[in-house]
Each structure stands twice: as structure tokens, then as C-alpha cells.
Chain A
Amino acid sequence: MSTADIGELLQQQVLDALRNNTPLNICGGGSKVFLGNPAPLPALPVETSAHHGIVEYDPRELVLTARGGTPLLHIESVLAEAGQMLAFEPPHFGNSATLGGTLACGLSGPRRPYSGAARDFMLGCRLLNGRGEIVRFGGQVMKNVAGYDISRLMVGAYGTLGILLDISLKVLPRPADSITVARKCGEAEAIADMSALLSKPYPVDAACYSNELCYVRLSGSIQAVKEARTKIPGDIVPEAAAFWQALREHTLPFFHNNSPLYRIMVKPATPPLPLNGSCLHDWGGALRWLYSHEDVATIRRQVAQAGGQVSVFRGGAAGTDLFQPLPAPLLAIHQRLKASFDPAHIFNRGRIYSNL
């Protein structure tokens, strides 16, 4: 696959935008454009997908460095050839997904509670900031406490702090074996079962509850999986990889629904939430997807009582706070951070919060 470094071209676009005081809308593959608030007009698009290619990858170092516009599919196939993977199992939401967009949105798949989130694998980045400067934070090593952890701050910042030019990630070996078992049970029982697994030394790397079935994925060495199978009740699920991929990519039948979709974060052992609608549990109960017509304030109130937060993932009404609003002192820190990376406020204005 071809590679190209258009960092300087992107830098020029930022400098032009600064001169003309034009807001910019950072566009990777466009696969996650539905997330967050739409760009207010008249933001100019900055296309990053031409800035692509793997810069460095040595499987023995467990580190991969690639340009932000590199297709996620390409990265995953190169890793797979070396028997490795992105252990946070990122959702793609389309074949055009890029590495930069994946990290900027900071989403993680079913493995997240057991292996870590996108942010946990971030090692370093080369960033084009809102002054048009190219700066480097972190590095290509796993332990690094020189300076604040700014590369990790970029994960989930939705491009509001700068353009991710190069990204270094920790990668991991793919497990030698993996099986999934499922059993029929009620929601409360599934929550209790999945939470109980947290204090068991089994090689669980995904657990979800969907359509009255509690699924548990066991991955690791051949012996580890074989041994753990005897301890988890349920039937072996055929074609399990396709099931988990469909969960990750929101293509399971559950996701064929036109109601607004809420992403609810709770502690995993939180009992079933008293909310109308249909609910699927991922992350062993810590992430609950809810299709509901209840208003967002009601949902947020109920979830807050359980100590959780809610974002509107799809189908949010105009003018709604899509992400969980922040308390005032935290928002003030966010605004000062935003101003320090992007003083002219040119990147992805309002994408997360209207005043950011």
C-alpha cells in the first residue's frame, strides 16, 4: 500500500485558516461523522485521508506507528499477518475508518473492560496544533513519564485540540484460541453473572447480554481456554467472531431500530435500569445501549442516580446536549485546555460541547 506524508500541506491549511479566521472541520474517512454535534457552517473541511501509511512497525517491540489517515482495515490486516492486533477492538462504523478518527473518537469494542480502552494503548503522537505548529508528545516506548501525557489526552478529544499526524500505539499478540459460550437467562441474572466473573481468574475477554442470552468469550492459550470452558455454563456459539464483530459494528438485529440510541455508562453490577425501551449490555454490563423514546433529561436523571452518564449516540434531537454535560469547574478547565492547544478556536468547533 502506498504511503504519503502531507503534514506540511495540512500545516499550510491550518496557517491559512488562522490567517483568514476560518473554522476547520477535520475529516478522516467520514465513518463517524454521525457522532457528536455537526460542524457549524461555514467550516472548511481538512481532508486527512491522504496522509497515510505505516511509518514503523516491529512486532517484537509491540509498537506500531502510522499516519492519522491510514485506513484502520489496512492496519488490522498488517497486524494480523504478524499475529497481532489492536487489543481495544475498535469499532469501524464503515470501511473508510482511519486510525486518526478512531483515536480521536476514542471508542473501544467488546474487549475494553478486560484489555483496556483506546486511550490505554496510546503511546505517542505527532500533533498539528491550532497555532499551526507540529509538536510531538509521548513516544514509541511503553513507559514514559517525561511531561504531561498529552498524547493520551488526544484520545476522545474529537479533533478539538489538533490534527493527529502520526500515532504510536501499543499492540498485542492475538490470543492463540478463543471460544464463546452463551446461555439463556434474565437481565438481572446476567448482570450478576458477568460481574462475578470480574473476581475470577478466568481468561474472559468479552461478555454481553443480548436478546435474553448472556455471552462470554474466553481467549488465551489453548490450555487456558480449554480449562476455562469447563467452568462457564452455556453452549458453544458457532461463528462467534461474526457475532462479536456485529456487536462492535452495530449490525446485530438489535441495532435495526430508528429510535434514538443512547450510550449509557454505569458500574457493571448496576441492576437493570428502570427505563422504557430496548437494552443491550456490552462490556460485561458496564456499557448499556438503549433505544428509547423517553426524553434525554429523564434518562440522564435515572442513570445519574446509578452513578452513570449518558451520551446520545444516534438520532439526537437538534439542540440536545449529545454528550453528558460537565460540571462548571471541569468545563472551565476544558475551555482553558482548548484555548491552549487551539487559541483561535479553529478545530472542530462545538463537536463535543457547544462552548468548546
Chain B
Amino acid sequence: MSARNLYEVEMIDGGAFDPAAPLQFPRRDFLKLFGSGLVIGLAPASALAQESGRRGFGVHQLPQNISAWIHIAPDSRVTVFTGKVEVGQNIRTSLAQQVAEELGVPFDSITMVMGDTARTPYDMGTFGSMTTPRMGPELRNMASAARDTLIQLAADRWHADTAALQATNARVTDTTASRSATYGELTQGKELVKIVSGDPALTPATQWKVAGTPVPKAEIRDFVTGRHVYPSDVTRPGMMHGAIVRPAGYRATLQSLDTSAAEKIPGVRIVHDGDFIGIVAPDYATAHRAADAVKANWNVPPQPSNAELFSILKKGSSDSGNEPPGRAPEHQTGNVPAAYASAPIKLEQEYTVQYIQHAPLEPRAAVAEWKGEGGEGPALTVWTGTQRPFGVRDQLVEAFNLKPEQVRVLQPDMGSGYGGKHTGEAAIEAARLAKAVGKPVKLLWTREEEFTWAYFRPAGVITIRGAANRDGKLTAWEHHNYNSGGAAIGCPYDVPNQLIQYHPADSPLRQGSYRSLAAAANNFARESHMDALAHAANLDPLEFRLRNLSDQRLRNVLQAAAEKFHWVPPVSPLRPGIGYGIACGTDKGGYVATCAEVSVDPATKKLHIVRVTQAWECGAIINPDGLRNQQEGAIVQGLGGALFEQILFANGKILNPHFAQYRLPRFQDAPQIEIVLLDRKDLPPAGAGEIGLIGLAPAVANAYFAATGTRLHQLPMAPKLS
């Protein structure tokens, strides 16, 4: 693996469905995959135009850019094939609910096949809160088209008018005659493939019966009985266990190597190729004992530490030029310097954000198996936990010089990722080991490996200048983000003079996506600054926000949160050591407002989050319980980065790569949580997995100020006081 692969991870935010992406399996295998019945696929209208005349039934005329398939079998079982993956965000359930709704079948009759590169259409990955706004409507379109097709099949069979036919509960019924047929009966013996496009009429959210309801998590019984098979649980016949001898630090080079002691351990194989030193053994303990027995000397060059971090980031990127560093502003209107200079109320402040880690409870894991001589199927099969099975497949294709169809990556529903599992390191390592020993190999990263060799939520420096007039109306807003990212960097408030700029920098540590990307950092800085300006203007922070906010959806969540929380302005007398704070924000179609009550011990100054009320709106709600669960979880996860999580590093080493040293939110930290969901049935659903995270930190910082009169300008805010 090259150094570039090791240290650079693309920040992934949004991105379009790639119409050039090829169908990932040969057409001749297509029907073999499904068997008889009806298959519905969805293609963009542009693709159908290019493949003119291919619309409608046909077996060998598939467009090359299908995002998902729905198959209806002769027994009326429905199988949905999508490259999206389930990582705890509950889309296995919410997508099936939407198919059930539009297709007119029971929820339990649907099986979701997800994240299997040999069986599902190409998908760029599960990130950016895109599943609900993009895959959801596509599946609804397909399901609606499938229902129309089934009605047409029944009309043809009975020589009936389609207007008289109803399709519900997996059955088409003729309302003018006493006859009906199940979906399966209508597809019996047929091999129908239909590619659809366009926007069929979909059931409005106001009429939903399955979508919009709190259907429990799909296959939940397997999770409470220990039966669910996670990537790290996969077992193959003859499987061996792997371990990797890691470098002594980042950017290290191997100086000398002595594997003689390890080689003497019975059953151990050493796999050495350049700086890659791997172990294969019959069991986990032996593999790791052998790895410990390897004597490797590494040269680790001097590298920076947390102490220099923020000055490095403020220098900007080495290839971005100087003065000002970085790329063009994201947004620029009016004249900020003039407006700021003349404003009666103004504040300038720097905010900082440390690196944190996703720390998914299941570390990276992979089982790799190479096809034996004369075997069938792909040359290499890898089961691994990743948010991008097709991306990992492409990494394997490149690493082993294979063709895409020679590699199959399967993603069993995993022990989550939070943006941290976009890459395929464990998959490549397991495949190297398996290839060397000619047997399937499982590699399960240790927690220390996950902390050290995965990647981090970017650190950052954010500087804000904000100004208001004596009426409490904002007049100038300047926001610079160094390194942490451009997500939600735009100011949602009405400000005539603005300069908003993201400055890439040379990050000392490998960094990548993290749930909500930089929205959490940008929102922390902006909403802290708004609170400070409100106090400078002697206004209630809620009133100050509303005075400068015309975005009605953001106003709605602010008012809903404040009402449920029983918000009172912090200028009112509260009990000693108790403070209230409020914050709001929006990104990716989600709107959040958060109120927090904190208590601060007068003697120890320790901070505790007593209760949090969060109002959330993301259009029509598909599963209110799943949505509530995401909001609650985002608050609890968010409080870690807000209060105490931080990566400590020096000279190419992580200094706290264990749960005993890296403090995570635990039961003791969980506040009392109230969630208010605003259901906008008139608006399309947006993703809800990420943005629920962005209100907590500033609400807590503002509450801390209300309680103590002290402002905290850094994340984590209180590593020693919580």
C-alpha cells in the first residue's frame, strides 16, 4: 500500500449518483440471480433515452446504470437489492417500509439484500444522509411501477379495465367481479424484467399506512439473541487468524527485522512484503503472540503534537498559496470590514476543535477467501464492515490487479461506523494474508489498531467576526474554517454583509468523514458566537436568533424546542450553578434546535448535562421511533466530542489509543432527553442520521456560560471538568 493510500482519505459529502457506473454483473447472470417472477429496476430518464426502444419488458436489454432492483417471486415474497448498507441507522427497516407502502405488500414479506457487490447494483456508499432522500424515492418509484405492472398483468389475464383493479396486501382484486390473484400468481412461470424511469404518482405521506409508522427494527430478534452475524463473526471452513505487526509510528520506515522467534511458534506463518509484516496462525492468541515476538526496528521521523496543532492548521495548505490561504470564499456579500468597523455591537473570537475518533464498537474486521484451483465464483471474496462495499471492492481490485467481477465484497450489517469505515484497510490486509497462506483468513483489528490506523474527525480552527446594530439585527458575519471542513459553514441568519471561507490545511493526522462532517464544529462556533452577541446586545438568545432568522423551518424547530423545554432567558434568575443554553442549525435537509440544562458543581466546577430537549424536522417522517432513536443517539454521541473526547498525539504516535484513556460517553453521562419531532407530511423526507448531532455542543457551551459566566471556546470543552 502506498503512503498516499495510508494517509489520505477523501472527505465524502454528498456527491451525485454516477450515471456512468456500469451494471455490476453480466446480463446473462441476471435472471439466474433472481429466478422467475417480476424484476423491476429504475434508471434515470437520460439513460433510457440513450437506450431507446429498450423500455418495457425484455430480458437482455438492461440499461447500464440501475440503482436498485425489486424482485417479486412466485410465492409473492419481495426482495429488494440495494448497494446501501445497514449500520444501525435503521434503513433496512425504513426502506422496506417505503417499498411495502407503494407496492402494497406486508412489511414482513420483504427481504432487503444490501451491500453485496455481486448481487446489488453499484452504489457509491452509505454516507452524507443520502439514503432517505435518494434511495427512498427511487425504491418508491420502482415499487409503484411494479404495482402498476402487476395490475396490468391482471387486466390482461382477465381482459379487465385496470381502473377496476385494486392492488393491496400482495393481491390484485377486481372490484367489479369476484376474482383476485396474488402478486406471485400473476408472475408465475414468467421471467419479466422491466426498467422504469420518470416520476410515477406516489402515495402522499398523508395517506401512508406502513411508512410513517414506528415499525420495529427489521430482524431485531436476531440482535437480542446474539444470532446476528456481524462482519467479525463470519467464519469459513479452514479459516485461520491474522495479526499485523504495526509500525512504531506514522510515516515510519522499517530499519531491521528479526522474525526468528515468531517463526518458532508452532503453526505460525510470517507474511513479509516490504513494510508489511503479517502473521497467520490457527487461533487469535497465537497470531498475536507471534506478532509480539517479531522484533522490528522502525525509524519514526519527528512529527508534531497537539501543542502545535492549531498553528499548523492556521497556516493553511502547502499547495493553496498565501494571503489569504485557502480557496475562494464559499460565500461573499456586501462589505464585511466596513460593516464591522461601524457596528455598535461586535465580537471576534477563535474556536478550536480537536481530532476525535469514531470508535465504532466493532473495530475494522475482514474475512478474506481466495478461490481454489478450479473453484467457482469470484477469485476473491471478502466479508468486511464498511460503508462503501463497492469502494472497498475497487481498492481490492487495484491492490491485487484483478477485474471488478473477480472480487466480491459483502457487508453484513455491522457494528456501525459513524463515517469512520469508508476505507478497506482490513479487507486488503486479510486478503494479503489469505493469499499468502492459501486459506481463508480473519483479521480483526485491535482497539489500539483502530485508534491508531483508522482515521480521525478533522481538527480545526474557526474564527468568527460578528456584528449587530442596536436593534439586535446582524449586520456583518465573517466565518473562517481552517481544516475541519465546509459542511454547514454558511450562515443561516439574515446578514447583509458576509464572508464565509473554508481553508484546507495540511493535517498532521490522517483524517476523514465523521457523522455530520464539519457541521458540528461550524455550528458550535457559530451558535456560541450568536449567544455571545445576544448577551452583548442584552437580548434573550432565543429572541436574538428569531430576530435575525427568516428560514421558517429553522424558526419552527427553535420555537418547538424552547416551548417543550420551558425556555426562560438566562438573564432571568436561575438556581445557582444551573444554566440554560439554546442553539440551532441546519444541513442536508435536517433542521435541529437544542436546549440544554447544565449543572456546575460550585466546589469542583464539574459540569453535568442535566437535560436536553431537541426539536427535529426533516420533512415527512418515515419511521418516528427510528427517527427518535437517531436523535437521542446523536445527542449522547455528540456529548462525547462536546465535553471530553480528544485524540492526544505526538511524534507519530497516538497517546491515548485505549478506552481506558479515551473517554467515551457512558450511562453516567446520559442526560434526560426529550425529543420533539415535527412531521412535515408536505415535504419530502431528508436523512436524519447526522445533523441531530450539531445542536448539543453549542447548547451546552451556552448553558455553561449562563451558569458560570465563563465561555468555553474549544471542543472538547471540559475534558477535566466532566
A and B assemble together? no
Interface residues in chain A, defined as those with a beta carbon under 8 Å from any beta carbon in chain B:
none
